[in-house]
């Protein structure tokens, strides 16, 4: 039974029982159960027969190990770009077009050819070798606008290795820009040129294979000279970019992490907290945060370990005093708060007063907004405080203002990002911060209309990024109910808007603010006056600062 | 809407930050400070060049003592950056840190409305009014302390994960390193030589 | 089981139908203008 050897990029084969590579840690054999015939011992079972220590167990199963930890470092690395989709360089069609990862195995003494650098097509040693830069990088057309950081210097290194091993080699590098910005990088780049490597500014427009000898004909516009050049090469190496690992979505969901627009993990602050996740106790190391080389990965790993170590050494963490409190007297024991809590931090049994487990409460406020009876106080973000803010903002000339509720982690941070990036938008919006968009109660929105707001925007995290697991689903349901309610009251429901803006989306934040301003200009004085009247709270038995219309019973 | 009735016990101080020219270059900070003084329960309004710098923080502390302030509003930058700074500042002056509220005149105002001094100033006034309205209803809060389990988890056994795990272990912390593949080493283990020193990857 | 549901964009007014799986929980944006103000016209307010 043989299978392509993943470690050797499929350039050689391995058995179904194998050591991944000679220096593997742990250095023991593993069974590839997908291809092992011994799964059915009648078919094979040879390895079990010869293993004197009887270490082989075909029935071994996965095991779930539970560990309680105080700090987590996310270092899930990268995926290498697969150039199959970008086939203009002929990667899938021509044997002698390889990727830079395959190059690594072919030049390595521990590789499939014991370090003899030969063409996959005919095992001949290539003399004229081309390198194409930015394959899967800096290419917005295929959704990869980012620079992968490492490929320029990796290619420079490759040309030096080839020149060192084979003095007669002729290297040519096709590039957009050579980014040799690190310590001693420029020196390496100069040495590569001195060793005879030709650097051609321009990426190949066409690659064809000469079917008789497997050579490659590369057409490239040299943008320095403005001339079209044709090169015959023995081999072409695609300097492939890198991308966020596929596992990232799963990990970020588990730890409520956010991503930047390119899909890498979003740090707490781009300059001041570069290895902290927005989630306390979680830190980043290496490529998953952004493309970086080995040295930078090691530096960042040290920083992350130091941050995590400081937390572990402190031995305790203070929880921000923004948690939920339930007033046992006025609680009607309905249990809505327990149902909406994303953390299961509210204990409730039928017929009993709900109780908050403070250590488990993250302070999103979904319960506070859902409670119809004013029995929940969100510390530091109380109903009275938030309503007072709405009233203060709309106290004068409300007609000229757009009321914006923004969640702390994404939308408000997206507004900060717009600021840091100096992206301009109209000055008519007034942003109020809550920890989560789910904190924004029906009454807060209605109050804004009652005091004359032409437009109200509720904004939160994208579904995948919700800092409170999935609390923002409550926001969606509430806004849906509010649209119905507004329509019933004869208020144009479009005056209430909903947007998801991530912490990285400064551009979107500014764009949304522009749209809100355009929308605001469509709202007439009569409409505003009508809403102020029509949405007045119906008198209840005990008029409180937080008056709740009775209609919206939660499901 | 009529403002909340004035509460005789409330003493709010407002500190408007120029942030050099970051805010003052666009927002009329003098006008905002003057406006703040007219808001209910505001005892003093002070304009600073850099509120987060020591002289700015000292001014807050001095005002807390001098005017017996029991609520503080700092109108400067995003609370996502300096809320911990100013909470600590009022704590050092003897106030509960939760009696401080911020208005974001920089990221959410001056930096995004540089061409609209009038609009930005009007917006800054509203943001200050909003913060004062909240500050008047703030209450002291006590933070809960939770023990941290003295063990770290490192997800991923590539060069970054290995390095982080070793550093933590060297510092005496138990570490669990998880890796999805059969061996640690990650992508780096597949490389031959690495730049800039041309040494082996493994 | 999937049902056909009607949605309206509260930003641009675009109305469209979509197959919705039972218990489906996904972020919605207008196929025309990308706004997230998507009103579920039938069964609105309930899940």
Q: Which of C43, C16, C5 is nearest to A484 (CA)?
A: C43
**How far, in Å, CA of B127 to CA of B141, rounded?**
23
- Segments making up each domain of chain A, as ranges: 1-66, 80-243, 248-314, 321-380, 382-555
Please report all neighbours of C, defined by 3+ CB atom pairs within 8 A: A
Interface size A-B, in CB pairs within 8 Å, comes to: 295
Q: pLDDT by residue (tens digit) across A30-64?
A: 999 888 887 676 778 888 889 999 999 888 889 99
C-beta atoms surrounding B5 within 10 Å: 7
Domains of chain B: 12-135 (3.40.50), 152-200 (no CATH)
Q: In this predicted structure, which of A205-209, A237-241, A355-359, C13-17 has the lowest mean pLDDT? A: A355-359
| Sheet with A216-222, edge to edge strand ranges | A204-209, A216-222, A227-233
pLDDT over threshold 70, residue B2: no
User: How far apart (Å, rounded) are the C-alpha atoms in residues A449 and A451?
Assistant: 5
Q: What pTM does this model have?
A: 0.79
- Tell whether B79 lies on the interface with A, counting CB pairs under 8 A: yes
CA distance C46 to chain A (A): 7
Top residue of A494, A501, A515 to mutate, by most chain C CBs within 10 Å, is: A494
- How big is chain A by its Cα radius of gyration, in Å? 31
Helix (H, G, I), strand (E, B) or coil at A208: strand
d(C-alpha B167, C-alpha A310), whole Å: 12
Contacts of A524 (CB under 8 A, 6+ apart): none
- For residues B44 and B64, what is the distance between their CA atoms, to the nearest angstrom? 10
List helix spans (H) across A462-524.
472-488, 506-520
Tokens of A259: 């991503």
Q: Using DSSP bridges, classify how beta strands A429-434 and A402-407 pair: parallel, antiparallel or unpaired.
A: parallel
> What are the helix (H) ranges across A8-75?
46-50
Could A305 and B168 be called an inter-chain contact, meaning their C-beta atoms sit closer than 8 Å? yes
At A447, phi and psi to the nearest 5?
A: -60, -40
Contact residues for A455 (Cβ-Cβ < 8 A; gap 6+): A402, A403, A495, A496, A497, A516, A519, A520, A523
Q: How far is B123 from chain A (nearest CA, A)?
A: 7
Please report all neighbours of B, defined by 3+ CB atom pairs within 8 A.
Answer: A
Q: CA-CA distance, A435 to A322, in Å (whole number)?
A: 9
Is residue A238 over pLDDT 50?
yes
> Which tokens sit at A303?
């920083």
For the domain spanning A80-243, the CATH number is 3.50.50.60
Residue A214 predicted with pLDDT over 60: yes
pLDDT digits (tens, 9 = 90+) for C2-38: 889 999 999 999 999 999 988 888 999 999 999 999 9
Strands A376-378 and A402-407 turn out to be: unpaired
Cα distance between residue A71 and residue A555, in whole Å: 38
Q: Taking CB atoms and an 8 Å limit, are A30 and B160 in contact across chains?
A: no
Q: Is A477's Cβ below 8 Å from some Cβ in C? A: yes
What is the pLDDT at residue A17?
92
Span A321-380 CATH architecture: 2-Layer Sandwich (3.30)
Between β-strands C15-21 and C2-9, what pairing exists: parallel, antiparallel or unpaired?
Answer: antiparallel
pLDDT tens sequence across A101-145: 999 999 999 999 999 999 999 999 999 999 999 999 999 999 999
pLDDT grade, residue A271 (50/70/90)?
Answer: confident
Dump the DSSP string for A295-328.
HHHHHHHHHHHHHHHHHHHH-EEEEPS--EEE-T
The percentage of residues in chain A with a pLDDT greater than 90, rounded to a whole number, is: 83
Q: Which residues are A131's β-sheet partners?
A: A173, A237
**CA A545 → CA A75, A92, A153, A269, A444, distances in Å?**
49, 69, 64, 38, 11
């Amino acid at each position: 039974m043989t299978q392509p050897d993943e470690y050797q990029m499929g350039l050689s084969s391995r058995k179904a029982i194998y050591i991944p590579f000679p220096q593997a840690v742990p250095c023991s054999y593993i069974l590839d159960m997908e291809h092992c015939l011994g799964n059915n011992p009648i078919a094979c079972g040879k390895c079990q027969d010869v293993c004197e220590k009887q270490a082989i167990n075909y029935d071994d199963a996965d095991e779930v190990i539970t560990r309680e930890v105080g700090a987590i470092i996310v270092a899930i690395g990268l995926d290498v770009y697969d150039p199959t989709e970008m086939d203009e360089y002929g990667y899938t069609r021509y044997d002698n077009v390889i990727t830079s990862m395959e190059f690594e195995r072919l030049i390595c003494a521990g590789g499939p050819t014991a370090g003899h650098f030969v063409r996959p097509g005919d095992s001949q040693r290539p003399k004229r070798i081309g390198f194409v830069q930015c394959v899967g990088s800096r290419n917005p057309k295929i959704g990869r606008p980012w620079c992968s950081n490492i490929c320029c210097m990796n290619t420079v290194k490759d040309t030096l290795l080839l020149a060192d091993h084979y003095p007669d080699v002729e290297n040519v590098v096709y590039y957009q820009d050579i980014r040799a910005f690190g310590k001693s990088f420029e020196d390496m780049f100069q040495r590569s040129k001195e060793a005879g490597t030709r650097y051609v500014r321009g990426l190949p427009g066409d690659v064809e294979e000469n079917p008789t000898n497997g050579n490659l004909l590369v057409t490239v516009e040299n943008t320095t000279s403005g001339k079209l050049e044709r090169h015959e090469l023995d081999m072409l190496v695609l300097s492939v970019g890198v991308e966020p690992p596929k596992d990232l979505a799963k990990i970020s969901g588990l730890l409520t992490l956010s991503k930047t627009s390119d899909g890498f993990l979003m740090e707490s602050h781009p300059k001041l907290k570069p290895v902290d996740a927005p989630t306390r106790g979680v830190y980043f190391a290496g490529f998953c945060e952004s493309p970086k080389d080995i040295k930078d990965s090691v530096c960042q790993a040290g920083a992350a370990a130091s941050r995590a170590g400081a937390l572990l050494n402190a031995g305790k963490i203070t929880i921000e005093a923004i948690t939920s409190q339930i007033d046992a007297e006025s609680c009607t024991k309905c249990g809505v708060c327990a149902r909406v809590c994303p953390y299961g931090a509210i204990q409730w049994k039928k017929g009993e007063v709900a109780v908050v487990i403070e250590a488990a409460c993250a302070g999103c406020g979904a319960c506070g907004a859902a409670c119809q009876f004013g029995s929940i106080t969100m510390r530091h973000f109380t109903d009275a405080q938030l309503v007072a803010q709405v009233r203060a903002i709309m106290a004068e000339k409300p007609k000229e203002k757009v009321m914006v509720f923004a969640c702390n982690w994404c939308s408000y941070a997206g507004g900060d990002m717009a600021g840091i990036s100096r992206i301009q938008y109209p000055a008519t919006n007034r942003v109020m911060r809550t920890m989560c968009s789910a904190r924004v109660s029906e009454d807060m929105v209605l109050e804004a209309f009652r005091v004359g707001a032409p437009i109200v925007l509720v904004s939160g995290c994208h579904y995948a990024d919700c800092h409170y697991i999935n609390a923002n689903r409550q926001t969606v349901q509430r806004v849906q109910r509010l649209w119905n309610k507004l329509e019933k009251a004869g208020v144009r429901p479009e005056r209430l808007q909903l947007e998801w803006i991530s912490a990285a989306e400064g551009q979107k934040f500014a764009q949304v603010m522009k749209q809100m301003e355009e929308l605001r200009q469509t709202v007439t004085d009569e409409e505003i006056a009508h809403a102020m009247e029509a949405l007045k709270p119906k008198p209840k038995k005990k008029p409180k600062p937080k008056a709740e219309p009775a209609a919206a019973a939660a499901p | 809407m009529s403002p909340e009735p004035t509460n005789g016990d409330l003493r709010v101080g407002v500190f408007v930050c120029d942030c050099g020219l970051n805010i003052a270059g666009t927002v009329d900070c003098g006008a905002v400070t003057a406006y703040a003084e007219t808001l209910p329960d505001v005892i003093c309004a002070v304009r600073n060049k850099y509120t987060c710098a020591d002289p700015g923080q000292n001014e807050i502390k001095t005002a807390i003592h001098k005017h017996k302030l029991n609520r503080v509003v700092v109108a400067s930058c995003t609370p996502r950056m300096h809320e911990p700074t100013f909470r600590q500042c009022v704590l050092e002056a003897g106030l509960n840190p939760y009696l401080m509220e911020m208005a974001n005149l920089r990221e959410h105002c001056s930096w995004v409305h540089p061409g609209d001094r009038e609009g930005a100033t009007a917006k800054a006034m509203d943001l200050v009014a909003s913060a004062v309205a909240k500050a008047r209803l703030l209450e002291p809060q006590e933070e809960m302390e939770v023990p941290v389990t003295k063990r770290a988890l490192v997800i991923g056994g590539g060069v970054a994960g290995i390095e982080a795990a070793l550093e933590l272990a060297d510092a005496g912390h138990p570490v669990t390193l998880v890796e999805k593949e059969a061996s640690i080493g990650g992508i780096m283990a597949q490389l031959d030589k690495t730049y800039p020193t041309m040494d082996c990857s493994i | 089981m999937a049902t056909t549901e009607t949605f309206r964009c509260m930003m641009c007014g675009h109305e469209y139908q979509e197959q919705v799986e039972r218990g489906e929980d996904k972020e919605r944006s207008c196929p025309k203008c990308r706004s997230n103000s998507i009103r579920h016209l039938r069964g609105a307010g309930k899940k």
